[in-house]
A and B are shown apart, each in its own frame.
Chain A
């Protein structure tokens, strides 16, 4: 399905563009005209003549141009009329920002129904209502009604993010921007009267700018379709899902034992698992996993883990967490051990987890990374950098990046501390090496990479099975 008009419109109409700077319609209009958005933007408002020096059109039909995307930010009762205008103007896509629909009242639900009937059989696609819409940093489409001084926009990146909740979405965007995390596309789907998670998943699976898809949903209305789309999407790229809310639906039909168990989140979990989606159980896991999956390669045949650290404790905690998750620690090749012994001070011990000890500098990291990353017994590497010692400078970032590029094995970093750590984490983020503040989070991100590897492996097995 073609949803391009939402992300790459040549012309946009903002219905409800306002002169009052706090109004949603004003903020959205400003997003378009105040950015590098290359298309044309037309404000629509029967009560104004000009906004920020732009000529205002009383309705869509007065616009002397085709309109690809309409952003609708007017009170709910007026929305069906605006949809009529979109239909006669042959608008391709509309984002309905307005609330006051199904989520608010029975009256609102009726309005939704009215809109659904109007667009049935037409080419007009709708996102929303009751949503914050679309943010695409590469095309500068930005329908978020939250001003940029309150909600900073993330830079262009490779993680796509679909969210049912607008508030959750905007908080995550603001946070992502503060962490220097890039986004390929952001979509808040709200009440999803037309475009839903199934449509978007299938669109993003083929989006060349997206290398990992993240989804936050509370309810899925087309479970079976979602399951099928998920199954195909995960063949192309990793998908991380955070499902909020326990579903009560199934419980009503509990005549059997199976029926009573299906009432919980169990069935969603099973369907996600089976389709090859990676499930986040907590908010922070959603982007923890996505960053590892979007930035790092999937481990090849060898999956054993090597841990390199400059502090014993974090190595121990990482080992514990790895063991809990069933991740195997690599046995170093004799040659690796030899190289390490020759080059490490006597008080360091050349085994996995590899403790480079407190006076390790970037050179020692580089030596260790070369030895470990070239070891065929190692499939994936966790590098712990505690930057509190005077030996650690930001050149350790180069050592890590070089090893990743040279050997092509996934590397995940754990680093905790103050301002210097932040600078280092940002440098790593820039180089697409994911960095985490605790050893557990780093190991769980590694686990996500290993899970996706298993997903691909299972898909391969399935194919071979059916060809037999």
Chain B
């Protein structure tokens, strides 16, 4: 917990309101939330080296404190299958980002292992005006957008709350296995919910966080994209 706060405090001192992807992943790891293996690289040679280390296919993501919506500036490229593609895409991303966000300070490009697709879920944390630290669980993609298939709980939660939360969703039947699809690892999802509940309860410097999507495999889960919004602790309001 203290290690986490050190990372958050550093970002706050730098005047940032969100965590960089690699910092967010670090925080996840400290709370036992699985994330894809990834490395921050500063040039294409390093990227090739690291891509071979984590294994193809890989994803590239721009790392910059000024860029919150990475894909809007061409800062996310998925499913890169080999070295050749990697070299081309790396250069393309550098050029695109330079053009679309010329004033952004680029810390590097993250090379991430591309995780196989699966049923996607969303886990979130928020500091609500009324209820204080709270967590959200939702089915990914259109289930959240169109059907509003999400549910909330006040943090901290217990295992039984996590269980009830998952089963409150209409989409929970998908997670339990349907139409020949295997059941998702509910225990692993419950553990992520408990971790996020812990994160949002323990760190009042975190104002909102999204794990979106979390791939729900039949054996384990992986938080593929993480966003953590931070805020200086304030005396009142």
Residues in B whose Cβ lies below 8 Å from that of A255: 18, 207-208, 229
A250 touches B128 (CB 8 A): yes
Decide: A258 near B126, CB < 8 A? Known: A271-B152, A458-B164.
yes
Q: How far is the CB of A249 from chain B (nearest CB, A)?
A: 5
The listed residue (A249, A253, A270, A465) touching B153 by CB distance below 8 A is A270
Decide: A257 near B154, CB < 8 A? Known: A249-B129, A271-B131, A274-B161.
no
How many Å lie between the Cα of A264 and that of B144 in the bound state? 13
Residues in A whose Cβ lies below 8 Å from that of B124: 256-258, 261
The listed residue (A256, A275, A462) touching B210 by CB distance below 8 A is A256
A465 touches B158 (CB 8 A): yes
Is B25 an interface residue, CB under 8 A from the partner?
no
A259 touches B208 (CB 8 A): yes
A256 touches B229 (CB 8 A): yes
B165 nearest CB neighbor, chain A only: A270
From 122 to 136 in chain B, residues with beta carbon under 8 angstroms from any chain A beta carbon are: 122, 124-126, 128-132, 134, 136
B130 touches A223 (CB 8 A): yes
Q: How far is the CB of B219 from chain A (nearest CB, A)?
A: 25
Is B142 an interface residue, CB under 8 A from the partner?
no
B160 touches A250 (CB 8 A): no
Residues in A whose Cβ lies below 8 Å from that of B150: 261, 266
A253 touches B122 (CB 8 A): no
B160 touches A270 (CB 8 A): no
Q: How far is the CB of A270 from chain B (nearest CB, A)?
A: 3
From 98 to 147 in chain B, residues with beta carbon under 8 angstroms from any chain A beta carbon are: 122, 124-126, 128-132, 134, 136, 138, 144
Residues in B whose Cβ lies below 8 Å from that of A273: 151, 153, 164, 168
Residues in B whose Cβ lies below 8 Å from that of A270: 134, 151-154, 165
Name, among B136, B158, B159, B168, the residue most crowded by chain A CB atoms within 10 Å (CB to CB). Answer: B136
Is B209 an interface residue, CB under 8 A from the partner?
yes
Contact with A along B150-190 (1 / 0, CB 8 A): 11111001111100110010000000000000000000000
Is B42 an interface residue, CB under 8 A from the partner?
no
The listed residue (B132, B159, B208, B227) touching A224 by CB distance below 8 A is B132
Q: How far is the CB of B203 from chain A (nearest CB, A)?
A: 15
Count chain B residues whose beta carbon lies closer than 8 angstroms to a beta carbon of A: 35
How many Å lie between the Cα of A141 and that of B74 in the bound state? 69
Count chain A residues whose beta carbon lies closer than 8 angstroms to a beta carbon of B: 30
Residues in A whose Cβ lies below 8 Å from that of B131: 223-224, 227, 267, 271
A267 touches B227 (CB 8 A): no
Residues in B whose Cβ lies below 8 Å from that of A253: 207-208
How many Å lie between the Cα of A34 and that of B165 in the bound state? 52
Residues in A whose Cβ lies below 8 Å from that of B165: 270
B133 nearest CB neighbor, chain A only: A224
Q: How far is the CB of B202 from chain A (nearest CB, A)?
A: 16
Decide: A257 near B212, CB < 8 A? Known: A224-B131, A273-B168, A458-B160.
yes
Is B148 an interface residue, CB under 8 A from the partner?
yes
B144 touches A256 (CB 8 A): no
Is A324 an interface residue, CB under 8 A from the partner?
no
Contact with B along A218-233 (1 / 0, CB 8 A): 0011111001000000
Decide: A256 near B227, CB < 8 A? Known: A224-B132, A264-B148.
yes
Decide: A256 near B126, CB < 8 A? Known: A266-B151, A270-B154.
yes
Residues in B whose Cβ lies below 8 Å from that of A267: 126, 128, 130-131, 134, 152
- Starting from the known contacts A256-B209, A258-B209, A271-B154, 14 additional A-B residue pairs (CB-CB under 8 Å) come to A223-B130, A224-B132, A255-B208, A255-B229, A256-B210, A259-B208, A262-B126, A271-B152, A271-B153, A274-B154, A274-B157, A274-B161, A465-B158, A465-B159
Residue pairs across A and B with Cβ atoms less than 8 A apart, 11 shown, are: A220-B130, A223-B129, A223-B131, A250-B128, A255-B229, A256-B124, A256-B210, A262-B128, A267-B126, A270-B151, A270-B152
- Residue numbers of B with Cβ under 8 A of A are 18, 122, 124-126, 128-132, 134, 136, 138, 144, 148, 150-154, 157-161, 164-165, 168, 207-210, 212, 227, 229
The 4 closest A-B pairs by CB, nearest first: A258-B124, A223-B130, A270-B152, A256-B208
- Residue numbers of A with Cβ under 8 A of B are 220-224, 227, 247, 249-250, 253, 255-259, 261-262, 264, 266-267, 269-271, 273-275, 458, 461-462, 465
